[in-house]
Amino acid sequence: DLANCVTVYEKDETGSYAIPIKAMACSCGLEEGSTPLGTFSTSDYYDWRLMVDNTYGQYAVRFVNRILFHSVPYVKDSADTLLTEEYNKLGEDASHGCVRLSVKDSKWIYDNCEIGTTMEVYEDENPGPLGKPYTIEVDVNSPYRGWDPTDPDENNPWKGHLPHFENVKKYLTSLDIEYE
């Protein structure tokens, strides 16, 4: 929670989830205690989900009560309505309690973590064994500002036009964006 980093583990030879395989920069709750601490299981999955503040999250996965993993918020349930200012907060506290991720990372959880996947939220400044990935800061004046640069959507205008490195806050959300 304090580190704003999600680390995914796979099973080792003893069946324990001990092998770190992926780290994702995220944004947890802005208010203390808004992202609950504890061990939870994923339950409901949504392509798009209306959030408590009337924004939308893409690839939302519930893990406790009203708290979900989901993309950075959008104005509408449309991939070209990203709230760029909120995207630029990835890696720091910013949400009402949910765990915000880039589209690429929220889609990874949506696609790879089946219903009932166990996850733990804990407070620690240490981001975990893989460290905390860097994030992109999108220029709010960019003509592509309504899109998450990591979104695999075929209509994403960032494809072929990676953000200029002078706009990089902390490099890339996931170091393996595959745009040509």
**Is residue 70 flagged as an active site residue?**
yes
**pLDDT > 90? residue 31:** yes
CA distances from 27 to 10, 33, 84 (A): 23, 14, 14
pLDDT of residue 160: 79
pLDDT of residue 176: 41
**pLDDT > 60? residue 93:** yes
The span from the CA of 168 to the CA of 135, in Å, is: 7
Which of 96, 107, 106, 50 has the alpha carbon at shortest distance from 74?
Answer: 50
Which of 57, 52, 86, 53 has the alpha carbon at shortest distance from 69?
Answer: 57
Residue 38 CB-half CA count within 13 A: 11
pLDDT band at 162 (very low <50, low <70, confident <90, very high): low
Strand extents, DSSP E, the chain = 5-11, 17-25, 38-41, 45-50, 56-64, 67-71, 99-101, 118-121
Q: Which of 5, 26, 28, 70 is catalytic?
A: 70
For the chain, give the mean pLDDT. 90
Report the percentage of the chain scoring pLDDT > 90.
84
User: Sign of dihedral through CA atoms 28, 167, 80, 158?
Assistant: negative
> Token match 């690839």: residue?
59
> Token match 């949400």: residue?
95
Residue range 97-154, pLDDT digits in tens: 999 999 999 999 999 999 999 999 999 999 999 999 989 889 999 999 999 999 999 9
Q: What is the pTM of this model?
A: 0.88
**Is residue 96 flagged as an active site residue?**
no
Q: Which of 26, 98, 113, 161 is catalytic?
A: 98
Q: What is the DSSP-derived secondary structure letter of residue 63?
A: E
At 109, give phi and psi (nearest 5°). -65, -45
